[in-house]
Chains A and B, each alone.
Chain A
Amino acid sequence: MNFEFLFNNLPELTITGLAFGAIYALVALGYTMVYGVLQLINFAHSEVFMYGTFAMLWTVMALNGAEADGVKLIAILIAALFLAMLMSAAIALILERVAYRPLIKRDAPRLIALISAIGASFVLAELMGLRDKVAEWLGLDDNLDDYVSGARINNSMAGVLEKPRFDVAGVSVSSIDLIVIVAAVGMMVLLDQFVRRSRLGKGIRATAQDPETASLMGVNPTRTIQVTFLIGGIMAGIAAFLYMLKIETTRFDVGFLLGVKAFTAAVLGGIGNLRGALLGGLILGVAENWGSALFGTEWRDVIAFVLLVLILLVRPTGLLGESLGKARA
């Protein structure tokens, strides 16, 4: 164990850990909100994130971001952010409509919905992984070649962004890491306030507490569920945007590992709890980095999951433990 290295580089390791943890947290929101309202784990949420990364990549490619700079580059990035949010939100809504609503209407057991989610996850991931074949069937492969080629390997937008570093009190910090942390935490605070204060947010909490009573009080449950998926999708879109700023590379199966980690973050913080998702994500990100420093990077996932087990042993409902419905107004 290399304690000396950890202590000497604690600030850097913490900041880069927080940055990746913030991305976990944004994705974790999607798991946590759907669980809060439906008591159902939306395993296809990782693909909602993955489609967002591709929306970002394709926007940058289509607008020729590699040759843009200054104001034009910022405009392209803003367009990419909105399209990533739009893509992820659309996929989340389609999932709700196709994979969940028919089951919920028929009062299917939760396990059935879970299998439906896993199925949807594979369909979505493989659809992206086979997009060159799909384009071929549609006869579009000539027009779309840049976008569909290399369907099963990494697709990269490296070289688009400069990533200046600067020193804060002797600690070298990447500007991208700061942007990621500030943007992610900012979005979480906004969302938290939205759920606590707005009419829609009250509807979500009411449905989470007791769907039947909520609908008697005039809350439309179907619409509330839709809004929940929509918000989860938008957050995953933002996560996808920030992920692509930081990593610059995506592929059709990028959602899987990240989805498992984000789900872990949601459980760690207390699933169904928005603030828990943030806390869980950040703790997981930092723990992975510190653990990598102490034991070697190959232990990264082991550390993350040992931490999960330890915390659940002591606090079975997660760190913050409250459900979405019981959140104080």
Chain B
Amino acid sequence: MRRNKVFATGVAALALGLSLTACGTTEDGGNGGSDADCDVKLAFFGPETGDAAGLGKPIIQGTQLAIDQYNEDADCKVEFVKYDSQGSPDEAPALATEAAGDESLIGVVGPAFSGESAAAGDTFAEAGLPTITPSATNPTLADNGWDTFHRALGNDATQGPAAAKYIKDTVKAGKVFVIDDASEYGAGLAGIVEKDLADAVVGTDTIQQKQTDFSATVTKVTDAKPDAVFFGGYYAEATILVGQLRDGGFDGTFVVADGVKDPAFLDAKDAAEGTIITCPCIPDTEPAVAEFAADYEAEFGEAPGTYAAEAYDAATIFLDGIDEGVDNRADMLEFVNNYDDEGITKQLKFDEKGEPADVHVYAYTVKGGAIVPEGEIK
């Protein structure tokens, strides 16, 4: 009996320990203009550290570049602050409350992910703090009636059909197996692809995040013998999954979406070759972003990562507002809602739900150990 008690206490203590590790956030002060600032701040909201830091970095740097360029010849320097949510929906609400409490903060680039956007959206809407996400693509985010919500890229309702179209028309797959990771983002996207492909879907499975052994899923795939596998999820699982699928004998096309478009996916080495990645993010080879890409590389010593250009566009909208003398949230919100100008990635204009009026989805492929653009999916 005593033994059982020890177990119970152990499990309880373990659970407590687990929940404790979720704390410990860092909030970095910006390093924007320190001289002659006029107490106006823009913020990044998303993962700066943590598991998804790799996806947050280009967004931070794209925003940073836009603000630095603006500050160079502005009398009124804009300060850049970062709210590091680690990409976690659990962290987001408290951080959003903190952001809402800072009255000099009048625009947020982010939240970066769909899960944290859903968790923090109410707080931003109540505070009237306008947000423009350069990367959260779950379609339902726009249906919450948050007038502060804006999205600088196409959502999964546009990315999903584009992925399905690519699988049908370009990969010419007659049989497709659809896998998702049960996340807000992955399950939503996989659902759309599944619906669009209809009869072509020969099977589905749902994995768990942080899972490492996918043998049951692999057996399901090899049993169904599909021409292509679509995976809705992030790169951490995709990297291991594609390796095990290839080892299991799957030799069709592996198709994934923007959550996998990260250099870490290339860790899968040969198994990653030929993978198709769809993304509403503009390739840096497009002429429109060439100048941005050159500036970015000069500043940070690396080519712009996924969503750097979208983040740059999002920050530019806010900066244009500040340039016109906007210095409070209500005016900024109105300014963003009525914005209509050419950005580097697309024509920047939002409909009444905050969705972009102009949407492009691009295909990328893994070739020779690099992610290379294949062109726009039209």
Chain A positions within 8 Å of B, measured between CB atoms, are 5, 8-9, 12-13, 16-17, 19-20, 39, 41, 43, 110-111, 114-115, 118, 121-122, 150, 152-154, 156, 158-159, 163, 165, 172, 174, 176, 246-249, 253-254, 257, 260, 267, 271, 288-289, 292-293, 296-298, 300-301, 316
Q: Judge if B326 is at the interface, Cβ distance under 8 Å.
A: no
Q: Which residues of B contact A289 (CB under 8 A)?
A: 215-216, 219
Docked CA distance A296–B17 (Å): 30
Q: Which residues of chain B are within 8 angstroms of A12 by Cβ–Cβ distance?
A: 219, 222
CB closest residue in chain B, given A12: B219
Nearest CB on A from B232, distance (A)? 13
CA distance A295 to B137 in the complex (A): 29
Quote the shortest CB–CB distance from B249 to chain A (angstroms).
6
How long is the Cα–Cα vector from A12 to B220 in the complex, in angstroms? 10
CB <8 Å contact, B223 and A152: no
B298 contacts A by Cβ under 8 Å: no
What B residues does A247 contact at CB under 8 A?
A: 212-213, 240
Which listed residue, A110, A153, A296, touches B236 by the CB 8 Å rule?
A153
Given A41-B6, A43-B10, A156-B267, decide whether A298 and B206 contact each other with a Cβ distance below 8 A: yes
Dominant SS at the B interface? helix
Instruction: Flag if B247 contacts A20 (CB, 8 Å).
Output: no
A152-B51, A249-B239, A292-B217 known; A301+B269 contact, CB < 8 A: no
The main secondary structure of chain A at its interface with chain B is: helix
A293–B9 CB distance below 8 A:
no
Please measure, in the bound complex, the distance between the C-alpha atom of A172 and the C-alpha atom of B221, giving whole angstroms.
Answer: 14
Contact B49 A152 (CB under 8 A): yes
Q: Indicate if the CB atoms of A267 and B7 lie closer than 8 Å.
A: yes
A163 to B270, CA, bound (A): 13
A-B contact pairs, 13 of them (CB 8 A): A16-B213, A111-B6, A114-B9, A115-B13, A122-B21, A154-B236, A165-B249, A172-B222, A247-B212, A248-B240, A292-B216, A298-B207, A300-B216
Q: How large is the interface on B (under 10, 10 to 19, 20 to 34, 35 or more residues)?
A: 35 or more
B residues neighboring A (CB under 8 Å): 3-4, 6-7, 9-10, 13-14, 17, 21, 49-51, 53-54, 182, 205-208, 210-220, 222-223, 236, 239-240, 243, 247-249, 264, 267-271
Interface pair B240/A296, CB less than 8 Å apart: no
Query: Besides A292-B217, A297-B217, 4 other CB < 8 A contacts?
Result: A16-B213, A158-B267, A288-B216, A293-B219
Which residues on the A side are within 8 Å of B13 (C-beta)?
114-115, 118
| Contact (Cβ within 8 A) B267 A39 | no
Partner of A154 from the list B9, B21, B220, B240 (CB cut-off 8 Å) is: B240
B271 and A158: CB pair below 8 A?
yes
Contact of A158 among B182, B222, B248, B269 (CB under 8 A): B269
Q: Which residues of B contact A9 (CB under 8 A)?
A: 219, 223
Query: Is B270 a contact partner of A159 (Cβ separation < 8 A)?
Result: yes
Smallest CB–CB gap between B223 and chain A, Å?
6
Shortest 7 CB-CB distances between A and B: which pairs? Answer: A159-B269, A16-B215, A292-B216, A156-B267, A298-B206, A158-B269, A163-B247
CB neighbours of B270 from chain A (8 A): 159
Structural contact, A249 and B267, CB atoms closer than 8 A: yes
Q: Are B219 and A13 in contact (CB under 8 A)?
A: yes
The answer to whether A249 and B212 have CB atoms under 8 Å apart is yes
